[in-house]
Structure 1
Amino acid sequence: MDMQAEVARLVEEAQQQLGEGVWDLTQGDRALALKTAAGLGEAVGAQSGRESTAAIDRLEHLREALAVLAIALAGTHGRLAWFLAGGSAALAPVLHWRALPVGDGPSFNTVLPTPQQFTEAEDAVRRLGALLARLGA
């Protein structure tokens, strides 16, 4: 399953749980969700204009988004933690990407992502951030 599909599934499940009253957010959950949404927004920025950014910078921003999720995950438990962990897992392929040529040595099994893969990953981060912002509101 690709990143966007996995994130879409996570968002759908979260919305279902919220709608059914299964997931009851605490004030702490809401605050953490808002903080995490802001961090994801800072990491990947607005949707338009990113395509012209250098691959190394786009990869750096995506890794920053993963770090934001990891830090948030470390500070919570329960359904919010499960959602954040699912988001991190969906974005895990980013950890196997590189922006630099291999040169003469091994590449630790990294791959060069396509511009489309960068865009899809950035969109997935934005979708996670949008749901987190709604959770925090």
Structure 2
Amino acid sequence: MHEQVLALAREAESQNDGTTWVLGAEDEVLAAEVAAGLVEAVGPAARQEALPVIERLGHLREVLAVLALATARTHGHLAWFLARASTALAPVLHWRALTATPGHSFGAVLPEPDELHDAEHAVRFLAGFLTRTGATDAPDGRRTDSPSSSSPSGNDSSPEGLSRPTALPPDPSPKPVLGHGEG
């Protein structure tokens, strides 16, 4: 899931060039609100991994609710981005934390520990990306997500443990994120 969200973020970053996808003030506010909702739902890795699977799964389902509600509140590029992020995280909906008699779980499966970790990592990355996307210009013209605006060292982390890099890691094989019926 993290790889899908990373690819989605790369695609969004390439479109957010000032001509293809121009975020208006309302979109910036909504992106920041979604980021805050994701951070509230899925905390730092150490805290999440200490929780029982049923609580971790509940938090991941809350993420999907945050994304769905935000998607319903907007249109255009941000709505498409949030919907695609929801799609990347959709396997969470097929997971269960309780035991079930074979054939009585409607196809829901127990997630592997690495699957939970991957989903939570994807949410943290998505929250960081949306935080940067929702950052507005400071009165002096600097981006509020720039290293010089966060801390003297330029290496600021939010209290939730999210790093705030100024750029995405390089893509070893640039490929667009395709939706249903594309490609």
Range that drifts further, 99-108 or 112-121: 99-108
Alignment of 1:30-109 (within 5 A): 30-103=28-101, 106-109=104-107
More helix by share: 1
Instruction: For residues 61-115 of structure 1, give each alpha carbon's deviation from its aligned partner in whole angstroms, at most 9, with x where no partner exists.
Output: 0000000000000000000000000000000000000000004761100000011
The alignment yields a C-alpha RMSD, in angstroms, of 1.2
TM-score for the superposition, normalised by structure 1: 0.94
* Superposed displacement of residue 19, structure 1: 3.1
- 2:128 corresponds to: 130
* Superposed displacement of residue 48, structure 1: 2.5
Task: Check conservation: 1:98, 1:111, Cα contact below 8 A.
Answer: yes
Task: Check conservation: 1:51, 1:115, Cα contact below 8 A.
Answer: no
Structure 1 spans left out of the alignment, 5+ residues: none
Instruction: Give the letter for the 1:109 counterpart.
Output: G
What is the aligned length? 135
* Superposed displacement of residue 21, structure 1: 3.3
Instruction: For residues 29-50 of structure 1, give each alpha carbon's deviation from its aligned partner in whole angstroms, at most 9, with x where no partner exists.
Output: 0000000000000000113232
Following TM superposition, the consecutive aligned residue runs of length 4 or more in structure 1 with deviations greater than 6 angstroms are none
CA distance in 2, matches of 1:65, 1:110: 18
2:78 partner SS: helix
- 2:140 corresponds to: none
CA distance in 2, matches of 1:35, 1:28: 10
- 2:12 corresponds to: 14
1:116 partner SS: helix
CA distance in 2, matches of 1:48, 1:21: 40
Q: Which has the higher contact order (CA 8 A, sep 6+)?
A: 1
Structure 2 spans left out of the alignment, 5+ residues: 136-183
CA distance in 1, matches of 2:15, 2:122: 20
Match of 1:118 among 116, 119, 133: 116
Range that drifts further, 50-59 or 104-113: 104-113
* Superposed displacement of residue 20, structure 1: 5.9
